[in-house]
A and B are shown apart, each in its own frame.
Chain A
Amino acid sequence: MIRAYELTKRYGDTTVVHGLDFTVRPGTVTGFLGPNGAGKSTTMRMLLGLDAPTRGRSTIGGRAYTTHPAPLTEVGALLEARSVHPGRTAFNHLMALAHTHGIPRSRVEHVPDLAGLTGAAHKRIKGFSLGMGQRLGIAAALLGDPATLILDEPVNGLDPEGVLWIRNLLTSLAAEGRTVLVSSHLMSEMALTADHLVVIGRGRLLADTTVGDLIRTAGGASVRVVTPQADALRTLLAGPGVRITTGTADELTVHGTDSVHIGRTAAAHAIPLHELTPQTVSLEQAFMDLTQESVEYRTAAPLTGALV
């Protein structure tokens, strides 16, 4: 369990993180989302005691990170910025970290296998690709078999196979009852991995919600129907909680019921359907709507229309 209380970080006049309050629960993958420059990395660095908050505090497993007697067993962290010496081998890097906790060599030899680095452990980090560097970071995070994982943009630089691997890894770690906090600026990636979302923009909390709720608040699911008897179908479908909008003469967009119900209703009344398409508001769109006001670097023309 990770808890942030009024976390605030100020550099001179710039407030990078502004009174963040959120809770990350065990057993699920929590996505930490925000556009570039939203303050995700700074927040994670504060959680790990690398940056001191200007105001507020945070706890992991009920206590401040810096007071844990064995931090590696409590929290495994992957930072966005490179935090290895390129001249060491992966094994020596992991061994140096393990020594501080008395973690045995057998564990150090095992974690590269967990992270898909088998065979590269005794190569110098200098020659690693971006993806291998990420895998090494994951291996380091898993060293102490921690109850909490904090991973900053773990899919960065991974190939499609690596992305799939990390998705499964995160899900299985959460299924074991661990707390998993994963940051990303890609909503589409989070939609596939995370159950819970903490969304920030310009250092402020924009949403602390589930993936499903975010879609619902963003307009929810709808069904697009094309039929020559649009008016007749419209009358038949009308009911409490159902909202129907009309596009062209033979096109309906139905909110509040599903394609199964619409199809059955149409069949029962012998109304021909030319098209029956369930539509989900893309999470990407919901994310953009949410963060529109808070992106730091924006293209001149809004891109949102083109992406729907």
Chain B
Amino acid sequence: MTTATAPSPYRVTPRRVVRSEWHKLWSLRSTWVTLLSAGAVILGVGLLMGATYTSGGGDADIDTVVLVLFGTQLGQMCLAVLGILVTAGEYSSGMIRASLTVVPHRLPVLWAKAAVFTVVAYSSMFATALITFLAAQLFLHDTDKAAALTDPGVLGAIAGSAAAVTLLSLIALGLGATLRSVPGSTGAYIGGVLILPEVLGMLPYDAVDSALKYFPTQAAGVLGSATPLPDAATAGPALLALCLWAGAALGAGAVLLRRRDA
């Protein structure tokens, strides 16, 4: 046995676990499908918005960046699904048993998944938002929605939109790690993150309304707008709130990953 005599150069390190998760992500078709769908939806809706916009029409009061990145609401769902597949998908295939056998400390697997996903989601969404904004401006240059990247708040809103999509999808990834089921996590995400705030918003209590400003979808809306939104949180607290939501979902996933049998 050669392994028993010579000290082995192999050992698990966080960096290597990240490398492994990177390989896992890109070796599945679902990654390409969800990312390309998200990009196509956002760009397609952006072009449609640009081409059909008329100055002074019904959309005149909407922020320019919000208008051209309207498709983000749909594209975001694709990334949430990808986030869920990254974690809960391993439970439905059984891959998690292999993953945790090779990394028995377990938590590095979740952190690596979250890190790889964050980089991929943010960079792809930033590129998509940038391209969509510039492409839509080809149609909008002679309207009252004409804007340049250098205009105040524009680049920030594009970056903020990508960050919002990434953080919302990280909540989905955390839900996937917590619930360990793709349909269960998708349901929880749609029900709890997307629909619940709408329902709560109908309640006639001011306290509920103030709290709702910091719910994930509302906070995400603030980050994607170049101009401050009425009755909404400001960008800083909104970003902080969204980070806390994502952190809470990941934290719940981490606690259960350590405690429960795989």
Residues of A that sit less than 8 Å from B by CB: 45, 48-52, 65-66, 68-73, 77, 79, 81-89, 92-93, 95-103, 140, 144-147, 176-178
Contacts and interface: CB of A to CB of B under 8 A. Distances in A.
A84 B94 CA distance: 6
Contacts, number: 117
B240 interface: no
A71 B101 contact: yes
B1 A147 contact: yes
A81 B93 CA distance: 10
Interface string B23-53: 1100111100000000000000000000000
B28 A69 contact: no
Contacts of A88: 24, 27-28
Main SS of the interface on chain A? loop
A70 B93 contact: no
A50 B97 contact: yes
A145 B2 contact: yes
Interface in B81-128: 89-90, 93-98, 100-105
10 contacts: A49-B104, A66-B104, A70-B8, A71-B101, A79-B97, A79-B98, A87-B29, A87-B30, A93-B98, A177-B1
A102 B94 contact: no
Contacts of A96: 20, 23-24, 27
A97 B29 contact: no
Contacts of B2: 145
Contacts of B62: none
Interface stretch (B11-19, B150-158, B168-176): B11-19
A103 B98 CA distance: 16
Interface of B: 1-4, 8-13, 16-17, 19-20, 23-24, 27-30, 89-90, 93-98, 100-105, 261-262
Contacts of B103: 71, 100
A102 B16 contact: yes
A99 B12 contact: no
B12 A71 contact: yes
The secondary structure that dominates the B interface is helix
A77 B101 contact: yes
Contacts of A98: 20
A72 B24 CA distance: 18
Contact of A103 (B10, B89, B262): B10
Contact of B102 (A72, A79, A177): A72
Contacts of A86: 93
B11 A99 contact: no
B101 A73 contact: no
Nearest to A82: B94
Contact of B98 (A87, A97, A144, A177): A97
B98 A70 contact: no
A169 B22 CA distance: 33
A79 B3 CA distance: 23
In the A-B complex, list the 3 residue pairs whose CB atoms are closest, starting with the nearest.
A99-B20, A92-B27, A83-B97
A50 B261 contact: yes
Contacts of B23: 92, 95-96, 99
Nearest to A49: B104
Contacts of B94: 81-84
Given A83-B95, A85-B90, A99-B20, A72 B10 contact: yes
A72 B29 CA distance: 27
B154 to A, nearest CB: 39
Contacts of B262: 45, 50-51
A70 B10 contact: yes
